[in-house]
Amino acid sequence: MLVESIYIFADNEIIEYDGELAADTIVEFLYDVIEDPVEIIDNDRELKGFYNMDDVIRLVGYFKSDRSPHFIEYDDAAEEFHPFVKFYATFDPKIAKKLKLKINEVDFYEPFMDEPVTIPGKPYIESELIAYIEQHDRPTLRKLEPYSMYEIWEDDIDGEHIVAFAEEDDPDGFEFLEILKEVARDNTDNPNLSIIWIDPDNFPLLVPYWEKTFGIALSSPQIGVVDVQDADSVWMEMDDQDDMPTADELEQWIEDVLSGKIDPDDDDEDDDDDDEDDDDDEDDDNNDDDEDDDNDDDDDEDDDDNDEDDDDDEDDDDDDNYEDDDDDEDEDEDEDDDEDEDEDDDEDDDDDDDEDEDEDDDDE
């Protein structure tokens, strides 16, 4: 059976699951769904855990209590994005001071950014919070997660994605990821820049597909621009895999992508040119073959003509031979006639001699 969509009904909310169809991934997602939309930070240990969640969008607010109308608005907004966007809150003034939050104030943390952005216009109502989040839900650098991979991939910019592959647990991958974070922080105000970071360790079954489709080796960090329609791609050339590009080099490459100097569609034009060249070569080969065939036909015709001439010559020779044979036979017949005549003459002579002898006898 083909599964197109999975919907989860929880607390009067309908949540669409748009991730990897793997049992462990779905179960983990369901555990997140049954959690409260807003996680409360009560102590330093929980505050440390909040800071460690730097690879997702996070919001944190400071409210008087869980019965505060401003917190209720905040909680209602959290239900709209749960569990994809993480919402935190604190009622402790000491924790709020460490977070640099004022009462009824909410900070928005973009993934991998050191400093948050305070949402303007406090105190907020639910619709204002929802509008702000929807306006800023495409971070400069975001991680592809198994539970939201298709949703993120469909959120492209002009049909393209800048994609970076790096294993966080690998030394080279970690170094490259830190460079990516630096570039993202320097360009966080650019609405046209959004980089998807993929950790190959999180998608072991997709690694062979990506390597074959993009023509790259994921044993080392890679960054490229990908066309989401036909998967055409252009990847940054790294002179030495042991030395990662600097932040300036990476930023310059990204600027070339955004300006259109580096475009995966250029590969299509090159492929079309190659196809045209191949077609021209095939036409030339076909023309050569046709010429060869014509020459072969001419040669065959010449051979046939020569064969006919030879046959005619042979026929003429045979006719001459037949005529010569007839002449020889006629000559032989003439010779036989002459011999017969000679024999007759000899017989006549013999008769004459006999007559003479008889006459002599009579005279005696």
- CB–CB of 68/55 below 8 Å? no
The whole-number average pLDDT for the span 330-358 is 43
Q: What is the pLDDT of residue 282?
A: 54
Separation between Cα atoms, residue 237 and residue 245, nearest integer Å:
9
Q: Which of 42, 178, 38, 181 is nearest to 99 (CA)?
A: 42
The whole-number average pLDDT for the span 289-294 is 52
Q: What is the pLDDT of residue 241?
A: 58
Residues listed for the chain: 364
140-263 homologous superfamily: Glutaredoxin (3.40.30.10)
Amino acid found at 69: P
Each residue's pLDDT tens digit, 232-257? 999 998 765 567 899 999 999 999 99
Q: Which residue has the higher pLDDT, 176 or 5?
A: 176
Q: What is the pLDDT of residue 284?
A: 53
Q: What is the pLDDT of residue 320?
A: 45
| φ, ψ (nearest 5 deg) of residue 65 | -165, 175
> Which of these ranges, 40-49, 79-88, 98-107, 328-337, has the smallest mean pLDDT?
328-337
**pLDDT winner (highest mean) among 161-165, 261-265, 268-272, 336-340:** 161-165
Three-class SS of residue 66?
A: coil
Q: Which residue has the higher pLDDT, 138 or 280?
A: 138
Q: Which residue has the higher pLDDT, 273 or 242?
A: 242
Q: Is the model's pLDDT at 26 over the cut of 60?
A: yes
Domain boundaries in the chain? Answer: 36-137, 140-263, 275-364
For 36-137, give the CATH class.
alpha beta
30 φψ region: left (φ > 0), alpha (ψ -120 to 50), beta (else) = alpha
- CB–CB of 107/60 below 8 Å? yes
- Is the pTM here over 0.75, yes or no? no
Tokens at 278, concatenated: 């191949």
> Is 140-263 in the same CATH topology as 36-137?
yes
